[in-house]
Structure 1
Amino acid sequence: MAMTILFIGGTGQISYPCVEDAVAQGHKVSIYNRGKRPDALPRGVTAITGDLAGPEYADLAKTRYDVVCQFIAFTPDQVTRDIALFAGQCGQYIFISSASVYQKPARHYVITEETPAINPYWPYSQAKIACEALLTGSAGLPWTIVRPSHTVRTGLPIMMGDSDIMARRMIEGQPTIVAGDGHTPWTLTRSVDLAVPFVRLFGKAAALNDIFHITNDRAHIWDDIQNAIARLLGVEANIVHVPTDTLIRYNPEWSGPLLGDKAWTAIFDNSKIKSVVGDFSCAESLDEILAEPIKYLKQRLAASRPPLGDADTLIDRICAAQSALG
C-alpha cells in the first residue's frame, strides 16, 4: 500500500538509498533538508528546503504524513521538539539511532536488541541513548527506533581519522594505522542493502514502539578490510598495529570512535528485524561492499587530493614510535 513518507535528511550516507527504495516501492516521498547535497533526487520526490532549527520546520506537521523518518536529529532537544511537533500528526515516527549505543564492551559475543544501551566512552552515542529514552517514555507518538551499524556508501571504512587521507597515504606507500592487532571482527553494511528492510518497516504495526538494528550478518576483521581497500586501489597496504590505549594518549579525540565503537567486536543477530519485515540479504564480499566507496573516493581524489597536514605528521610520529619497538 502506497503511503506518504517524509524523510528529514534524505540525501545522506544512509538516507539517500532509503529514499530511492521508498520511491521504487510506490510511496509518495518528500524530503526536508538544507538542499546542499549534489545528488539528483529520484523522479517524483518533493524537496522541501529548510533548516532543522528553522521556524519553517514546524510547518512539516501541517501535512499528516503516514511515516516520518528522522535521520538528522542527534541531540535530546531536537527529539523533544519532534515529539511535541509530530505527536498526533503522523502514523509512525522512525528515529535513526546507532548501534554504537550498545554496551562497550558487550558481555555477549553476539549483539541483540536486548544488549544494554550503555556507552561510557562516546558523547555521540550517549546523546543517541538520551534521544531513545525520550521516545520510549513519550506518549501520543507511535515510534520505531532503528540502529544501523557501520554503513558504507560514499566513505571508506576506517577506524579513526579521515578516510581520504588514509587512502592517499596508501596510494603513496605510506603507513596507515589499525588499532589493536587487526583481528577484531567488524560488521560493514552497504546503505543500499539496509534500505530494503528499512522501507519494509513503514506502516508495520509490529514495528511500532520497538527497537531494531539492521546490519549485515557477516563480519570481517579490520586487517582484511584495510588490505581489501589497498588492493582495490592497486597498491599494497603498509599497516602498523598500535594498541588502542596508546592511540588515545596521542589523540584523546579518538577515544569515542575507538573505545566507544570500533575497538570492540561487533557481530549482530538480525533475527528480530527479519521477524517483522521478512528475510533480506546483504553483500558479504569486501570487493562488493567496498565497490561504491572506492568509486566515490576516486572521484574525490581526481578533483582534489587532501594535502599533507597535521594528521600526516601525527600518523608518521605514531608509526615511527611503534615500529621502533620492533
Structure 2
Amino acid sequence: MIDRIRRGLPLVIHGDGTSLWTLTHNSDFAKGFVGLLGHPEAIGEAIHIFITAFSPPETADGLIGDQAISSVFDNSKIKRYVPDFQATVPFSEGVKQSVAWFETHPDQCTVDSEWSVLLDTLIEKHGIEAKPLSFYS
C-alpha cells in the first residue's frame, strides 16, 4: 500500500468508503496483552483485541469481510482486567512509526505486484476515476 501511495497510485477502499474501522497500534496492543498475562480472571475469556494476522484463514475471511460495514468495538472488558489500558497512539503516528521501521529494515519491505495489478484491474473495470492520494510526503 505504501508503495502505491508513494507512486501516486490510487487505493481501493471496500464497501462504500464510509465504514468506520478500528485499528490498534502494536504498542497499544502490547499494553493490553501484557496486562492480561497471568490475570486469573481473564483466563478463558475472549477479548477481541486480537486481529486477523493471528487468525486461521477461515476466520480471517469473515473478519475482513466484516470490515465493509461499520463496527464499533467496546473495550470495557479489557479495562476491567487491565484498568490502566488506554490506546494512546493515534493512527497518523502509528503509520509514521510503521513506515519508519520498514525504511530502516529494507530487507523486510516487499511489494505485492499481484495485489497492485488486482487493484488497477478493479479500478479500470468499475470505471472509477482514479484520484491519487496527496497526503503522504
TM range, normalised to the smaller chain? Answer: 0.5 to 0.7
Q: Which residue among 199, 202, 205 is the counterpart of 2:37?
A: 202
Of the three residues 271, 285, 306, the one matched with 2:90 is 285
Which residue number in structure 2 is paired with residue 188 of structure 1?
Answer: 23
Flag structure 2 segments of 5+ consecutive residues without an equivalent: 51-59, 130-137
1:214: how far off? 3.2
Asked whether the 8 Å contact 2:12–2:119 carries over to 1, the reply is: yes
For each residue in 1:73-97, what CA deviation from the matched residue of structure 2 results, as whole angstroms up to 9, or x when unmatched? xxxxxxxxxxxxxxxxxxxxxxxxx
Residue 319 of structure 1 and its aligned partner are, at CA, apart by 0.9
Instruction: Please state how far the C-alpha of 1:258 moved relative to its aligned partner.
Output: 3.7
1:214 corresponds, among 37, 49, 54, to 49
**Who wins on radius of gyration, i.e. which is larger?**
1
Q: TM-score, normalised by structure 1?
A: 0.32
Question: What is the CA distance between 1:268 and its match in structure 2?
Answer: 1.1
Greater share of residues in strand: 1
Deviation of 1:300 after TM superposition, in Å, equals 5.0
Deviations along 1:278-303, one digit per CA (max 9) or x if unpaired, are 13211252222222211123235588
Q: 1:285 to 1:277 in 2, by over 3 A?
A: closer
Q: Deviation at 1:186?
A: 0.6
Among 104, 109, 114, the residue aligned to 1:299: 104
Matching residue's letter, 2:85: F
Q: What are the within-5 Å matches in structure 2 for residues 303-318 of structure 1?
A: 306=111, 309-318=113-122
CA contact (8 A) 2:102 2:109 kept: no
Question: What is the identity, as a one-letter code, of the residue corresponding to 1:312?
Answer: S
Structure 1 counterpart of 2:118, one-letter code = L
Match of 1:192, SS state, is helix
Pair 1:321-2:125 in alignment: yes
Cα distance change of structure 1 residues 297 and 322 upon mapping to structure 2, 3 Å threshold: farther
The AA in structure 1 aligned to 2:86 is S
Query: 1:204/1:304 Cα in 2 relative to 1: closer, same or farther (>3 Å)?
Result: closer
SS of the aligned residue for 1:214 comes to: coil
Distance 1:315 1:322 in 2: 11
Query: Distance between the aligned counterparts of 2:24 and 2:100, measured in 1?
Result: 17
Q: State the identity %.
A: 29
CA distance in 1, matches of 2:26, 2:20: 19
Structure 2 counterpart of 1:209, one-letter code: G
Q: TM-score, structure 2 length as denominator?
A: 0.68
Q: What is the rounded CA distance, in whole Å, between the counterparts of 1:302 and 1:185 in structure 2?
A: 33
Specify every segment of 5 or more residues in structure 1 that has no aligned partner in the other structure, as ranges: 1-165, 216-254
1:292 partner letter = Q
Residues 207-286 of structure 1 correspond to what in structure 2 (within 5 A)?
A: 207-214=42-49, 256=61, 258-259=64-65, 261-283=66-88, 285-286=90-91
| Secondary structure class of the residue paired with 2:5 | helix
- Over 3 Å counting, the alpha-carbon distance change for 1:274 and 1:177 in structure 2 is same
Rounded to whole Å, the distance in 2 between the matches of 1:299 and 1:280 is 29
